[in-house]
Amino acid sequence: MSHYITSKMSNPLYFRVLNRNLARFCVKNVRKASTQTHGNEKETHFGFETVKESEKAKKVHEVFENVAQNYDVMNDAMSLGIHRVWKDIFLDRLSPTKNTKLLDVAGGTGDIAFRFLNHVKNSNQEENCHVTVMDINSNMVEVGKIRSEALKFDKSVISWEVGDAECLPFKDNSFNAYTIAFGIRNVTHIDKVLEEAYRVLQPGGRFMCLEFSHLPNSAAQWVYDQYSFQVIPVLGKLIAGQWQPYQYLVESIRKFPDQKNFGSMIESAGFRSVTYENLTLGVVAIHSGFKL
């Protein structure tokens, strides 16, 4: 810890950081913890592995390219089906109404988008509603399209895009709701994703994120860790024929900022009324903020 503080004090930018608000201070610390600089090139984490920033996106892309066909089956196996309840609660908290234009980022196989469309239909709020599903991985998007056709969703209420969450291919103020579920921990620059979310949302628009998080109880966290590292990669091998992608997924959860630090990052991007809600003791958390 003392070495970390000494390193910070030797950096002239440190004193400028001290004069910023608390939220931005937290973001800087999270960023410092997750990246480091060697020469002219930054490094970041890929699970517990340290890689060049320029390599992470490719590695993450390969992970999801390899597991796309078995992604939903593995979600059921890893979470014992609880991920379905988490996503239902997530949409319930969003509470979409008429005229909702939703952008679902990292939405590949359509789980959130389909829930959104069913929610507005079942609550008689489907008038002028539309969801755009975007994912960086074309294989995931293709799986989503096939599922959408099988479920007979009207193509006029859902569209699909391949794109990068750090550089969205949409104009400013294009949507009034933005969701990202179990995707933001896989990006290289979380701050850029949040800034882009803020940019494409209309004033009054809502940002919502569902993501694995940290359990406040150390004993419960230990049990969760044992399950994650000892069981999930084995399930990946048995069901998907590969354990490495699921080892990465487990490691990426442990590297993601905790609830309070991630909340500070959301505030730093400009969002207000930022809150979080723990589900299943904090295994996952719902984060929310508004563009005000």
Annotated binding site for S-adenosyl-L-methionine: 109, 135, 164-165
DSSP character string of 144-207: HHHHHHHTT--TTSEEEEE-BTTB-SS-TT-EEEEEEES-GGGSS-HHHHHHHHHHHEEEEEEE
Annotated binding site: 109, 135, 164-165
Cβ atoms of 68 and 140 closer than 8 Å: yes
Sign for the CA dihedral angle at 245, 251, 257, 260 comes to positive
Instruction: Collect all residues with Cβ–Cβ distance below 8 Å to 18 and sequence separation of at least 6.
Output: 25
Task: Give the containing element (helix H, strand E) for 103.
Answer: strand 101-105
- Compute the distance between CA of residue 213 and CA of residue 265 in angstroms, rounded to an integer: 15
- Compute the distance between CA of residue 57 and CA of residue 54 in angstroms, rounded to an integer: 7
